[in-house]
Structure 1
Amino acid sequence: MAFIDRVLRAPSYGWVDAAGGLVRPTPRQILREALARCNVLRTRKNWICVIAWVWVLCLLPAPVLFVKYHFSGGLLALALLFGVGGMSTHGTIWYHRYCTHRAFAFRHGAWRFVTQNLVPKVVPEEIYVVSHQVHHVKSDQPGDPYNASAGFLYCFLADINHQPIAHDLSEDDYARTVKMLAHTGIHLNSYRQYQRWGSVSHPAALIAHGVLSWTFWYAVYYAIGGHALALALFSGVLLWSVGVRTFNYQGHGRGRDLRRDGVDFNRRDMSVNQWRPGVFGGEWHNNHHLFPSSARSGFLWHQLDCAWLYIRLLHRLGAVASYRDDRQRFLDEYYRPALKARAASAAHPAHDGPSTPETPPIKPPGGASTAPTST
């Protein structure tokens, strides 16, 4: 069994059925698995499955108090913008492009610390990073920790049922797992500590980080706009922390092939480009699966990528030492050939062989493109 097949803790219903296909557990099986994994009395190693959902529960009073005592249309709009836009963009920058794919590198650890803590913390790095590496290797295949073909609940509760690392890794396998997270600056357990806690993160360090993060940001928001602003923005944090658990189900077509010719050029999996996560979070998902290590995924003129704008800004300020930008490769290898094929089809309709996928009118991107860069 390859390392990528054993690094995650397999659910009780397994990844692969007897015929070699994807196991599609019933909702009852998924819920039973989630409850078992949240039982810290059974084993302390279940703590990492619980912590992120404890944070979600702790956020629930924020919208209740906001609506009851401080509601206004302007603050509601701000909460929605912060949750859908600010939190999403930060998730793309920090968890996705830096922690998982190392698409860019900071010049100094201080800038890494600032970027990590731009918003209140609600997701442990190890839950996101390790499983996302597996996702890219096994995208839409058995073993993908959030395989959309297994249904919404399979994806929604993946952070409990499918994303935590295995409890029985060898010392060598644990060292390989640690390497996936060493660059993030989080506290890393020794192998002996891992055997006790079943995680790369130590519970005391992660919980302390969460408490300090929430305390700092609530104080900042309160200083700017009182409890009204603080509760509104923490309501936005709650919105994102629940919504992000639905993304991969939507981003992989809800288990169907929703890819569009001329829009979704990656055909190796079912990922699709969607305008809402693209515009508000810089997550053009099909583009990302095509070039996962690129610091930019908004490759076309109309694909706004705020995460990329942040990375470019830090690069101009000297805070980012290097980055990778695969826009030019995308244009040369996928976009322009599709335009040429469409033009050839239009010029010689009577001599067409098999039909060429239709590409909708697309404005050719202007300006120079940046090739893979290291500065």
Structure 2
Amino acid sequence: MAFIHDVLERPSYGWKDENGNLAKPAPGQIFKEFFSRLNIFRSKKNWLSFMSWAMVAVLAVFLLLFVFKYFSLQGLIIAFVYSMVVMGTHGTIWYHRYCTHGAYKFSNNFWRFVTQNLTLKIIPEEIYAISHHVHHALSDTPGDPYNAQGGFLYCFLADVNHQPINRNMNEKDYQRCLTLMKHTGVTCNSYTQYQKWGSLAKPFNMILGVIANWAFWFTVFYLIGGPALACAIFGAAGFWAVGVRTFNYEGHGKGEDKRREGIDHNRKDMSVNQLWPGLVAGEWHNNHHLFPKSARSGFKPYQIDMAWVYIKLMYTFGAVSQYKDSKAQFLKEYVQPALQPEPVYCPQTGKQIFATK
């Protein structure tokens, strides 16, 4: 467990207080840490965090252009669907189920590349994947990079304050990080380059990839619907990029135990199944924490899982070679036992006389 505890860059306020409990920094401390880690003049190793929020700032310009110059009801509907459903589902498909958990495998690198670039590229894979491994290992305990008990800001700014990898790993631990990322196709630094840049991803390759991705999609949307459509969708992507940073705070009960009997079956952490993230992005979070390596998280009839639909469809066409589906195991362990009749015994003989619920 030493690797899991040390693989992320420790914030200045630490993970634990003097009593070993979660360190809960004040808002001022969180903002101070945030701006310090965005400062590329202070250290070039801040480049990846700076880039993440720089992309949000650029996308905000498109959002303003849409609102004040190209606004239309049709554009608003398109922006809503793109941000909530398309971006949300893609985040589950690519970052969550593939990059982090390897819940399925592609037949070849072409289909991996296509899936990676189905939408605008905003989140660096290493920021999401490495920290999400830690989240599952230390969920709702000190060291969890987006521990909801730390408060809203603790989670909202976690991508800068808590999720970047440790910049002082030895070569052995750095190689372990590379192992966690090798299937994603991200071009990674050598250990010497990592010591210079403080990241797995190579700056040039990452920046070039984002530019190429954005240029492609802007061209596509511009040709389909002109600058109005391009600004609507790019602005929607920026809206999603900010909104997704609130998910884990909500998805873990805002720091409280909001699990419901018969709905949230995982009792090892505070994750909950939420209707909206589940329907629009396939993010049935409590189910996912039960079976993190499953390519499907929507196990019950009402739990629509659009991410699973994409993965299953890709499998049908041969683009995905294999996947893991834990629905049968979920039903066997958590649904069927609840449907079994309870035995009733005769008080005189002590023998079972009939069964009823």
Please report the TM-score for the alignment, with normalisation by the length of structure 1. 0.91
Give the whole-Å Cα distance in 2 for the aligned partners of 1:48 and 1:275.
Answer: 33
Task: Please report how far the alpha carbon of residue 39 of structure 1 lies from its aligned counterpart in structure 2 after TM superposition.
Answer: 1.4
SS of residue in 1 equivalent to 2:247: helix
Give the whole-Å Cα distance in 1 for the aligned partners of 2:261 and 2:58.
Answer: 43
Give the whole-Å Cα distance in 2 for the aligned partners of 1:45 and 1:75.
Answer: 39
Give the whole-Å Cα distance in 1 for the aligned partners of 2:44 and 2:164.
Answer: 14
SS of residue in 1 equivalent to 2:153: helix
Q: Deviations over 1:58-110 (max 9, x none)?
A: 00111211122221112101101110110000000000000000000001000
Matched, 1:43 2:43: yes
Matched, 1:257 2:276: no
- Equivalent in the alignment of 1:130: 130
- Equivalent in the alignment of 2:72: 72
Matched, 1:88 2:73: no
Task: Please report how far the alpha carbon of residue 236 of structure 1 lies from its aligned counterpart in structure 2 after TM superposition.
Answer: 1.3
Contact 1:84 1:239 (8 Å CA) reproduced: no
Task: Please report how far the alpha carbon of residue 318 of structure 1 lies from its aligned counterpart in structure 2 after TM superposition.
Answer: 0.5
Task: Please report how far the alpha carbon of residue 12 of structure 1 lies from its aligned counterpart in structure 2 after TM superposition.
Answer: 0.4
Task: Please report how far the alpha carbon of residue 35 of structure 1 lies from its aligned counterpart in structure 2 after TM superposition.
Answer: 1.1
SS of residue in 2 equivalent to 1:105: strand
Task: Please report how far the alpha carbon of residue 338 of structure 1 lies from its aligned counterpart in structure 2 after TM superposition.
Answer: 2.5
- Equivalent in the alignment of 2:226: 226
- Equivalent in the alignment of 2:314: 314
Give the whole-Å Cα distance in 2 for the aligned partners of 1:6 and 1:45.
Answer: 18
Q: Deviations over 1:204-252 (max 9, x none)?
A: 1111111111111000001111111111111210111001100000000
SS of residue in 2 equivalent to 1:181: helix
- Equivalent in the alignment of 1:117: 117
Give the whole-Å Cα distance in 2 for the aligned partners of 1:338 and 1:143.
Answer: 35
Task: Please report how far the alpha carbon of residue 159 of structure 1 lies from its aligned counterpart in structure 2 after TM superposition.
Answer: 0.4
Contiguous gaps of at least 5 residues in structure 2? 348-357
Please report the TM-score for the alignment, with normalisation by the length of structure 2. 0.95
Q: Deviations over 1:177-225 (max 9, x none)?
A: 0111010001110000000000000111111111111111000001111
Matched, 1:328 2:340: no
- Letter paired with 2:5: D
Contiguous gaps of at least 5 residues in structure 1? 351-375
- Letter paired with 1:122: I
- Equivalent in the alignment of 1:31: 31
1:95-244 mapped onto 2 (5 Å cutoff): 95-244=95-244
- Letter paired with 2:137: V
Give the whole-Å Cα distance in 2 for the aligned partners of 1:304 and 1:236.
Answer: 23
SS of residue in 2 equivalent to 1:146: coil
Task: Please report how far the alpha carbon of residue 14 of structure 1 lies from its aligned counterpart in structure 2 after TM superposition.
Answer: 0.3
Give the whole-Å Cα distance in 2 for the aligned partners of 1:57 and 1:190.
Answer: 30
Matched, 1:344 2:342: yes
Q: Percentage identity across aligned positions?
A: 54
Give the whole-Å Cα distance in 1 for the aligned partners of 2:63 and 2:39.
Answer: 28
SS of residue in 2 equivalent to 1:70: coil
The structure 1 segments of at least 4 consecutive aligned residues displaced by more than 4 Å after TM superposition are none
SS of residue in 2 equivalent to 1:180: helix
- Letter paired with 1:165: I
SS of residue in 2 equivalent to 1:321: strand
